Each structure stands twice: as structure tokens, then as C-alpha cells.
Amino acid sequence: MGVDKKDINTVLHLESPSTAESYLQESGRIARDGSIGKAILLWNYADHKKFSTYPKHSREYKMLLFAESTTCRRQVLLDALGAEEAVCSGCDVCERGGKAPFAYDLDLALSFITKNRKMYGYSQTQALLESEFNKKDLALFGLRIWDQEDIQAILSELKSRRLIKKCRWPWKGRLTCEKFMNCVNTAEKMPLDKKKERPVTEAHLKIRRSFMFNRRKLVNKIIGKIKA
């Protein structure tokens, strides 16, 4: 980075460094005056796919372990460097007491689509989400911070992670949650359609029973004609 200033307290990694060592080098530019520094890494599903392709013992794969760790991130970096175990001085996992939560913007968008499954198409969902996201910002700052490109990026992320999809007939083009049971917090236990990985309601079962009964009637009628 070539930065040697004492008053830098935050480093924001818009793109992930290639290795854990690179991350440490870039993050080491902060808090040179002895103050508390903060290093922020923006990580998405595209990064996950990219770094998953590297061998598990490679330096690049260690970056994946660091970014998606559910335990102390500092220790992941120390292990990558072959250093001894040490007390954490403030990674987000240790401060929070658990793994990182689901991103707020993705969670809000996914909750909206889950509650309104098979009701809106892509453009309608995008417009409604933009309005929903800006409600809070308008109340706080009097500004519309979120725009169409932001919402498109969120929907693209959800689609790439296979959390949402477009429906086929009779709800063609409308958005729904890819795996409904994984998208909503519910204590109800419902049987799953193993072929399509979706909850099977009583209505679904009635339709299936009716379909099977009508199919048997049709088969019996055909057999009766053949025998006749």
C-alpha cells in the first residue's frame, strides 16, 4: 500500500487480499500511533467460490478460513503464519461471542421475498425493496441512500447463493424463496418434498391424492376398454 501515516485508524478492504499474509500487511498500516485500529473486510459469495477452488493447505485457502471463521479470527491468522496461540485482542467473533450474523441488507430482502412469495416479479420486488430500504434512512437523515443498483446487487447475491429463484407456471416470473424451510425462522416441523426440497402442506397432499385417484380412474378406464 505504501502508506506510512500515524493517524490512520481504519482500513476497508473493498476486495479481498489474495492471502492471509497480504491481509496482515495491509491491515498493519493502521493505528501506528498506538490507538485502537479497525480493519474491515467486505466478503461475498463470489469470494467464497473463488477461494474455495484453492487447495486446502494453500495460503489462499487460509484467507477463506479467516473470512468465514466462526471462532477467533486472530488465531486463524496466527495458525496461517505458524505462530503460537495467543489471547485475542479484539476480533469481531470474540467481541460478539459468536459467528457473524447474516448481513442486514440480505436478511431484509430475503424476509420480504419470503413473506411475499410468488406475489411479485423481479422489477416489482426491486422497486418495493428500494422503497422499504429507504424508509429508515429518510426518517433518520432525510435522504434516499439506496438506489436501483444497490437492490440489484442484493438480489443478484441472493440468487447466486440459491436463496431465491423465479417461479415457473402458474406464477411465472415471480420470485420465491429457494428453500423455504431454510429462509424463515419457524419452530414448525413440516414434511419435505425430497425431490424439490420444499415444505409439503396439507393442501399439497390433498392435490396429490386427488391427482393419484384421477390417474387410477383413467388407467382403469383404459384397461377396461382394452379388455372390451
pLDDT at 226: 57
Mean pLDDT, to the nearest integer, of 54-75?
91
**Contact (Cβ atoms closer than 8 angstroms) between residue 151 and residue 128:** no
Give 156-206 pLDDT, tens digit per residue.
888 888 889 988 888 888 999 876 544 544 333 333 344 444 444 444 444
pLDDT at 195: 42
> Residue 175: which of 136, 127, 105 has the closest Cα?
127
pLDDT at 204: 47
Q: Between these two residues, 195 and 15, which has the higher pLDDT value?
A: 15
pLDDT of 92 > 60? The answer is: yes
Mean pLDDT of the chain: 78
Percent of the chain with pLDDT over 70: 76
Sorting pLDDT into bands at 50, 70 and 90, what band is 129? very high
pLDDT at 181: 42
Q: Between these two residues, 13 and 183, which has the higher pLDDT value?
A: 13
Distance between CA atoms of residues 159 and 154, nearest Å: 9
pLDDT at 66: 92
pLDDT at 222: 57
pLDDT at 50: 92
Sorting pLDDT into bands at 50, 70 and 90, what band is 136? confident
Among 4-13, 20-29, 135-144, 172-181, the least confident range: 172-181
Burial call 69-101: b when 16+ CB within 10 Å, e when fewer: beebbbbbbbbbeeeeeeeeeebebbeeeeeee
pLDDT of 149 > 80? The answer is: yes
Alpha-helix runs per DSSP H in 161-201:
180-183
Q: Between these two residues, 55 and 202, which has the higher pLDDT value?
A: 55
pLDDT at 3: 63
Q: What is the pTM of this model?
A: 0.61
Distance between CA atoms of residues 105 and 111, nearest Å: 10
